[in-house]
Structure 1
Amino acid sequence: MNTFTKIKQAIHLFKSIDIEQLGKLSQKVDLPKLVATVGKMDGTQLNGLIKMLGGAGHAKKQQPAINGDFYDLGTDLLPADRALQLKVRAFMEKEIQPIANHYWNKAAFPFEIIPKLAELNICGVTYEGYGCPHRSFIMEGIIAMEIARVDASIATFFGVQSGLAMGSIYLLGSDAQKQEWLPGMQQLKTIGAFGLTEPEVGSGAAGGLTTTATRHGDTWTLNGQKKWIGNATFADVLVIWARDTADNQVKGFLLRKDTPGLHVAKMEDKMALRIVQNGLITLQDCQVSELDRLQHANSFKDTAKVLRMTRAGVAWQAVGCARGAYENALAYTMQRKQFGKPIASFQLIQNHLVEMLSNLTAMQTLVFRLSALQDAGRLEDEHASLAKVFCSMRTRDVVRGAREVMGGNGILLEYNVARFVADAEAIYSYEGTKEINSLIVGRAITGHSAFV
């Protein structure tokens, strides 16, 4: 090693020491003599000194960024789509993150955020016309993920509005119904709800609905109850599914909030998705015009078209919930110190984090492919069901790991993991249980239906 190289390395070595450290060093040693000594060292000696000083000759390593997208899937988006993703993320972190725990604890909805959410112009993102910003199904999924990454309740509110309610009208409504409802719903000036589940009928909705619809000329009379209906307490229009007493087929109806005989009671004491305002709907001789019947909903097969489309969105929500828990837990382990060191430096903590990231990354790659199939027009029920099964199960694993690495603090809302742990339980159940979705996939791969 020549003299010039040694001098450069010596200068680099001392440049890596900050002013305060240099001042302390000058009080203990003769710095000019030390520099001269270092200058006489050969390459092996100099490298040994650098190693002994903890790699001072190299730039200080920065702490890795907190990023749940380990395979950089988001960077493959078109620039406009990537910009929208980051815009939604910024909105959620600025407007929702600071208030989420407060409203979750109160089981109340932050109505003041609806106009701000509307400004993002993301409702009905995959629909054409009616003011909808037509984009890909992958982008729709990413939006759901970004919202759920901060709060799964807001993601559920949005999924009901943009997916289930708007989707029912978009896929199955008449042109007049679409013109009447979709523009206002797209702007979040009109809020929708989707009423399928009943107090005694969940998985058996295809053939077991007890809510009835009886036609008398151009008017239908609806009677029955619906349970777990998100947005129901403040919705302007409710999509209600009922069994036609004439042909026993499932039909869809658009009920306006002031319809006589329509009563909605808020469901209380939930342990998950507490911000979502779920309602118990009672229908007592509700009169609905034939003009308000979804004109292209004539059997449960039509209802299933809506569910197939939105089930993919729930899988993305599960990914968002898992990502939020993972990222908050990772940040916590880097800041929390025990035994004089960040707990992120401990082997068992790192093992938990890697297991969480493995599940999260598998989930992300699955839903990206799922939405690619949807964009290509190749999505089948079994594709959406497999994603719902896998992602909702793995989300449970991720949030459990997040809670575990945080110890006792994992059950406190202020540390932003407990809410994800609870909300994952609701995601696991809605839009079809694990068992029902498994049977849909099982039927596809075996050719045998195991449904009762």
Structure 2
Amino acid sequence: MPALEADEVFGFDPYAIAARHLSPAARDALARLQATLDREVRPLLADAWERAVMPEAILEALIPLDLMQPSGMDAAEARSTMFSGFRNYVLARTDVSVATLYNAQSGLFRSAVALGGSPEQAAELDPRVRSFDVTGVFALTEPDHGSDVAGGLATTARRDGDVWVIDGAKTWIGGAAASDVLVVFARDVADAAVKAFLVPTDAPGVSMAAITGKVSLRPMQNALIALDGVRVGESDRLQRVDGWRDVSRILRTMRSDVAWIAAGLQAGVLDAAVRYARERRQFDRTLGGFQLVQEKLARMLGNAVASLSLVVELSLHQDASGTFADENSALAKMQTSRLARETAALGREVLGGNGILLAHDVARFFADAEAVYSYEGTHEINALIVGRALTGASAFT
């Protein structure tokens, strides 16, 4: 019986899910992405992980692909969550840090501007965001407030005529040091409402320190940011963010992005585990010929296909209805990141001791699954969002 073969772009997809939900033009754009990842990005990853650096060559290779609005693609499909989801999936299939880096611009920053800015702000900034003419990151999490940031946000903004004065701190802000702008969320001291501001990273009063010692997402540069009397104009305030409800509206789209990344991670670790199982010989036969190994690989495939199916259905609903429900995004992120943890662990088991070596790829995915499990809403927070929708009772304290 012939072995199931992986698609060059989408990995193992026995039900041809990608082919049924993407146009030929979209598949061509993603094929160009995968070719670039294989040729110019993949060779850099082991060293980038070892040294905990993000090579500039990675974004330099990806930016010319114009992945936020590829030429030849229908504009509506290019804007769809289905295409952006598969873009994250393909990126994460190669490396989660690379997917997180690109999504910081294409997902977090772009969504903050598009959904939080006035129509005029969005129209002026979006082409520059797409081209990377201006780069930015989403600065919400604080040293003392992660899961409880909705009620605990401590960074403040004080109006002084046509200027806002911002004080506080942010942490875990990926890609901040290499960006032009921070989207800083701060509580207005006048009305206690959360607002958002475009803060230049070189503004007086902004200082950053790299977070070191990470065991996940090592190439991704995360920063601890201090904001000390930073002054920005009213024109730099995102005009459609006037409270936590507006922040939540933006966050709903981001949980969907992370669910797609979790699905792509599983495709990547499955690729690596199957490749190893077909090549590695023990007891005069390949690992792939052992029952226990095949059972692990079959479970990994089941997790990966289930996760891809879930995020595709989520995007179908979002694109058709135009609605982004908290509980839908939370369910997808909760489930795919939980399965990603299991899939990565199984892949590590298939490789045995070699599963902790960067040379075989699985080690990166294994460590990164822990970060994906926690960022953009921990498992527990997402479970409470889903539970509230199921029961009508909030269990948040």
Q: Using the aligned pairs only, state the percent identity.
A: 43
Which string of whole-angstrom CA distances, capped at 9 and with x for unpartnered residues, describes residues 381-405 of structure 1? 1000000000000000000000001
> Distance between the aligned counterparts of 1:197 and 1:300, measured in 2?
14
> Distance between the aligned counterparts of 2:166 and 2:76, measured in 1?
32
The answer to whether the 8 A contact 2:68-2:78 is kept is no
Of 213-222 and 183-192, more deviation after overlay is shown by 183-192
Q: Cα offset for 1:136?
A: 2.1
For 2:35, the aligned partner's letter is A
For 1:159, the aligned partner's letter is N
The answer to whether the 8 A contact 1:132-1:186 is kept is no
Q: Cα offset for 1:91?
A: 1.7
Secondary structure of the equivalent of 1:406? helix
Of 314-323 and 84-93, more deviation after overlay is shown by 84-93
Task: Say whether 1:121 aligns with 2:61.
Answer: no
Q: Which residue of 1 aligns with 2:152?
A: 208
> Distance between the aligned counterparts of 1:155 and 1:386, measured in 2?
21
Query: What is the correspondence of 1:28-39 to structure 2 with a 5 Å cutoff?
Result: none
Q: Cα offset for 1:189?
A: 2.8
The answer to whether the 8 A contact 1:238-1:256 is kept is yes
Task: Say whether 1:451 aligns with 2:396.
Answer: yes
Task: Say whether 1:270 aligns with 2:210.
Answer: no
Which string of whole-angstrom CA distances, capped at 9 and with x for unpartnered residues, describes residues 129-159 of structure 1? 9x99833211110000000000000100111
- Pick the aligned partner of 1:235 from 161, 173, 179: 179
Q: Which residue of 2 aligns with 1:52?
A: none
Q: Which residue of 1 aligns with 2:5?
A: 65
Q: Cα offset for 1:108?
A: 0.7
Task: Say whether 1:112 aligns with 2:57.
Answer: yes
Q: Which residue of 1 aligns with 2:262?
A: 318
Q: Which residue of 1 aligns with 2:111?
A: 167
Task: Say whether 1:257 aligns with 2:201.
Answer: yes
> Distance between the aligned counterparts of 2:254 and 2:3, measured in 1?
38
Q: TM-score, normalised by structure 1?
A: 0.83
Deviating 4+ runs (over 3 angstroms): 61-64, 131-135
Which string of whole-angstrom CA distances, capped at 9 and with x for unpartnered residues, describes residues 14-72 of structure 1? xxxxxxxxxxxxxxxxxxxxxxxxxxxxxxxxxxxxxxxxxxxxxxx655423421221
Task: Say whether 1:87 aligns with 2:27.
Answer: no
For 1:91, the aligned partner's letter is T
Secondary structure of the equivalent of 1:140? helix
May I ask how many residue pairs the two structures share in their alignment?
388
Q: Which residue of 1 aligns with 2:45?
A: 100
Secondary structure of the equivalent of 2:86? helix
> Distance between the aligned counterparts of 1:184 and 1:268, measured in 2?
31
For residues 133 and 362 of structure 1, do their structure 2 counterparts lie closer, same or farther at Cα, with a shift above 3 Å needed?
closer
Q: Which residue of 2 aligns with 1:31?
A: none
Which string of whole-angstrom CA distances, capped at 9 and with x for unpartnered residues, describes residues 335-356 of structure 1? 0011111110110000000111
Q: Which residue of 1 aligns with 2:340?
A: 395
> Distance between the aligned counterparts of 1:292 and 1:238, measured in 2?
11
Q: Which residue of 2 aligns with 1:45?
A: none
- Pick the aligned partner of 1:295 from 239, 248, 257: 239
Query: What is the correspondence of 1:376-415 to structure 2 with a 5 Å cutoff?
Result: 376=320, 377-415=322-360
The answer to whether the 8 A contact 1:370-1:379 is kept is no
Which string of whole-angstrom CA distances, capped at 9 and with x for unpartnered residues, describes residues 93-123 of structure 1? 2121111111111111111232321111113
Question: Which structure has the larger Rg over C-alpha atoms?
Answer: 1
> Distance between the aligned counterparts of 1:291 and 1:379, measured in 2?
28
> Distance between the aligned counterparts of 2:372 and 2:118, measured in 1?
31
> Distance between the aligned counterparts of 2:299 and 2:77, measured in 1?
37
Q: Which residue of 2 aligns with 1:361?
A: 305
Q: Give the RMSD, CA atoms, in angstroms.
A: 1.7
> Distance between the aligned counterparts of 1:93 and 1:111, measured in 2?
16
> Distance between the aligned counterparts of 2:242 and 2:135, measured in 1?
24
Q: TM-score, normalised by structure 2?
A: 0.94
The answer to whether the 8 A contact 1:124-1:133 is kept is no
Q: Cα offset for 1:257?
A: 1.9
For 1:302, the aligned partner's letter is D
For 2:221, the aligned partner's letter is Q
Q: Cα offset for 1:288?
A: 1.1
> Distance between the aligned counterparts of 1:168 and 1:388, measured in 2?
19
Q: Cα offset for 1:357?
A: 0.7
> Distance between the aligned counterparts of 1:357 and 1:114, measured in 2?
30
Secondary structure of the equivalent of 1:252? strand
> Distance between the aligned counterparts of 2:129 and 2:53, measured in 1?
22
Secondary structure of the equivalent of 1:398? helix
Which string of whole-angstrom CA distances, capped at 9 and with x for unpartnered residues, describes residues 278-305 of structure 1? 1100000001111101111000111111
> Distance between the aligned counterparts of 1:314 and 1:432, measured in 2?
10
Secondary structure of the equivalent of 1:71? coil
Q: Which residue of 1 aligns with 2:273?
A: 329
For residues 203 and 160 of structure 1, do their structure 2 counterparts lie closer, same or farther at Cα, with a shift above 3 Å needed?
same
